[in-house]
Structure 1
Amino acid sequence: MGPVELLHMSVFSQSFSPCGRFLAAGNNYGEIAVFSLSAALSPDATALSQKPVLTFTAHEGPVFSLLSTDCHLLSAGNGEISCWSWSDLTKKNVKPLWTKRPNFKSSLEIPEINAMVLNTRDNSLVVGGGDNNIHILDLEHGIFKAVLQGHSDYVHCLSVREREAEILSGGEDGAVRMWDSRTGQSVHCVEIYKYESCARPQYGKWISCLTTDSDWMLCETDVLLPGHDPGCGGGPSLNTLQLNTNSAEHRMLTVGGSSNHIDVFTNLSYRAFSLSF
């Protein structure tokens, strides 16, 4: 890849391997890069240690979302989801195990898939994106079994409350919707921007990230690190943060945005070094 392409690169997505020793990152050119964290954190690390051990083209358009399971890496682009074996990727075998495409209303415009989350309660994959809908993929049978409709604009983020059998979704319409995963019905809708204490009109009403536990929900319109400006990640936009909890030895926070670099924070305070495509 030439210097012009690197200059205009954005990192849209990240996911750590189940063992915590590798990081996968997706960019706007449809590429997935796999980094060895063991090599990057080694006392003998060189500049080459901060480069990918594997780079391959996964989708024709940007890789908007990445998600790891116990043994697989799921990637999402424009209208499609691909599944890769982590074992194969570490051996530099880049053949996908399968590729699935949700049933969109129109074939003229293929919407991007912005978010994916696993629902282990029923072994399904929940995906949301540019058609304003949420699609449920039955992982056991490999078919899309439901479509959740209710958002009036792009869906950007998803979360699952397994104990309560609820799916939460946030979108550009400024709403967080809560769905019963058993019936597919919307059970509650919170329009965050209508609450004065939460409204941030200077940033717009859209919800870009969302997480929850059994008692609390946290959502946000932008992403900032304490003590840092939005430029960390190498550009004016910060797209993705990922915390490695899979390995105590390789515990870190990684941040990607509008550049070909991924900043690594080993103590959640200051940038230790950067990985790069």
Structure 2
Amino acid sequence: MLSESMRRKLFYNTVMSQCFSSDGSCLVAGSLYGYVAVFEISKILRPLRTEYESRRPSYHIEAHPDSHVDSMVSTENFLVTGSIGEICGWDWKSVTSSKAEKTKASWTIKIPSENDSYDGAVVFSLAYCSANNLLYAGCNDSKIYVFSLEDGKLVTTLEGHTRFIHGLSLLDSGTQLASCSEDGTVRLWDLRKKENTNVLTPNLVDNIHRSRLGEWIGAVDFTEDWLLCGGGPKLSLWHMRTMQPATVFDLPDEGIYVAKIYEERIIAAGLASHVYNLTYQGEMLSSIPTSSDTTYTVVYQETPQRLFSIGGASNFLDICTNCNYRELSVQFAP
């Protein structure tokens, strides 16, 4: 159970990361204060019995005490969380059961320290490739660390960015990775050759550049045909073949932290009080109001229950069962 002081603190919470359990039955969210909340989806979608009832997590895990849960991904067997200087794996069978609040990490990977730093680098972004069981960690020391989850060992380090890395995106094939950084660039990596193949600098394009917001890129996603990115520069969609911008989106945002390509549509959010659902050509399909004025994380799944979850600078997560409207909100902490 959470202490009263932690309950008060989490009332002013920020949700930094989210994912779904491997079987799709639970939504998991990580907070600024190091806690993980586990929501059973079947329970949060039930109608409330009284007007005074609220939708809350089934369990809380103190995953990273005195730190924060900056990133997370799901593997078949583990919830994987990234924080300051470490990555931890939590067995899904324990995390989604009555044992959750007493569970301990099944394994921990320490991030190499730079300049003898005691804490190690902060893991801002994680990407997992099931084809080869490799985990990619984008950190604030400008490096991408590649770990084997067979034994937890460092396989290689991808270097090229000069400032901290905000986001990673991985093709399903596991052959290409995209990364975006505070340095204003998006880099594409050939993972077979372990080398950087392309560098985009959106800030250098006149109709994408926003001088008052800076050059940083806060989010990236890509397919074999398209690349989507945004941050200080406007959200923009690029042709992978030509590496030229196809669409520049005109949104009422003050910076982009979420950029996702979903079912031939674009999902975008950031320093704004809405999540935007757009066509590739820039037509607004829907604008979903959020519980906070900044969104840091949006996750979605199709099965076994179609669900979108939106988290940010709030104690609430906004839940949608389609891209058109907010259906309900759940509390991270009571």
TM-score by length of 1: 0.91
Q: Write out aligned runs for 1:206-217 (5 A).
A: 206-217=216-227
The RMSD of aligned alpha carbons is 2.0
Structural mapping, 1:19-38, within 5 Å: 19-38=23-42
Distance 1:179 1:98 in 2: 28
In structure 2, the partner of 1:240 is 297
Aligned to 1:65: 71
Is residue 251 from structure 1 mapped to residue 251 from structure 2 by the alignment?
no
Q: Please tell me whether the aligned partners of residues 86 and 120 of structure 2 are also in contact (alpha carbons under 8 angstroms).
A: no
Structure-2 residue corresponding to 1:10: 14
How far 1:163 sits from its partner (Å)? Answer: 4.1
Moved more, 196-205 or 57-66: 196-205
Q: Please tell me whether the aligned partners of residues 287 and 324 of structure 2 are also in contact (alpha carbons under 8 angstroms).
A: no
Aligned 8 A contact 1:83 1:98 in 2: yes
Greater displacement, 135-144 / 106-115: 106-115
Structure 2 Cα separation of the partners of residues 143 and 164 of structure 1:
18
Distance in 2 (alpha carbons) for counterparts of 1:246 and 1:106:
45
Cα deviation for residue 167 of structure 1 reads 1.5
Number of residues of Structure 1 aligned to a counterpart in Structure 2: 273
**Residues of 2 paired with 1:65 and 1:162: CA distance?**
19
Give the Cα separation in 1 of the matches to 2:34 and 2:80: 14
Identity of aligned residues (%): 29
Q: 1:270 to 1:162 in 2, by over 3 A?
A: closer
Residues 13 and 63 in structure 1, CA contact (< 8 A), matched pair in contact too? yes
Alignment partner, residue 152 of structure 1: 162
Q: Tell me the residue number matched to 1:266.
A: 321
Task: Name the stretch that deviates more: 24-33 or 183-192.
Answer: 183-192
Question: For residues 11 and 47 of structure 2, what CA distance do their matches in structure 1 show?
Answer: 30
Task: Give 1:199 shift.
Answer: 1.9
State the 1:106 CA deviation: 2.6
* CA–CA separation in structure 2 for the residues paired with 1:107 and 1:235: 38
Q: What amino acid does structure 1 have at the position aligned with 2:228?
A: L
The CA distance in 1 between the partners of 2:78 and 2:12, in whole Å, is 29
Q: Among 50, 53, 62, which residue is 2:58 paired with?
A: 53
- Structure 2 residue runs of 5 or longer lacking an equivalent are 232-255, 257-268, 277-285
Counterpart residue identity of residue 98, structure 1: W
What code does the residue aligned with 1:52 have? P
**4+ residue runs over 4 A deviation:** 44-49
Conserved 8 A contact 1:174-1:191: yes
- Find the aligned partners of 1:162 and 1:244 in 2 and give their Cα distance: 16
Q: What are structure 1's unaligned runs of at least 5 residues?
A: none
Structure 2 partner of 1:168: 178
Aligned pair partner of 2:145 in 118, 128, 135: 135
What is the aligned partner in structure 2 of residue 225 from structure 1? 275
Relative to 1, partners in 2 of residues 1:52 and 1:164: Cα closer, same or farther, differing over 3 Å? Answer: closer
Give the superposition deviation at 1:236.
2.5
Corresponding residue of 2:80: 74
Question: CA shift at 1:122, angstroms?
Answer: 2.7
For the residue of structure 1 that corresponds to 2:124, the secondary structure is: strand
2:114 to 87, 95, 105: 105
Conservation of the 8 A alpha-carbon contact between 1:160 and 1:168: yes
Instruction: Name whichever of 218-227 and 111-120 sits farther off.
Output: 218-227
Name the amino acid aligned to 2:216: W
Answer yes or no: is the 8 Å Cα contact 2:15–2:315 preserved in 1.
yes
What is the CA distance between 1:95 and its match in structure 2? Answer: 1.8
Amino acid at match of 2:308: L
Q: Which moved more, 1:44-53 or 1:70-79?
A: 44-53
User: Could you tell me the TM-score, scaled by structure 2's length?
Assistant: 0.76
User: What one-letter code is carried by the residue in structure 1 that aligns with 2:292?
Assistant: G
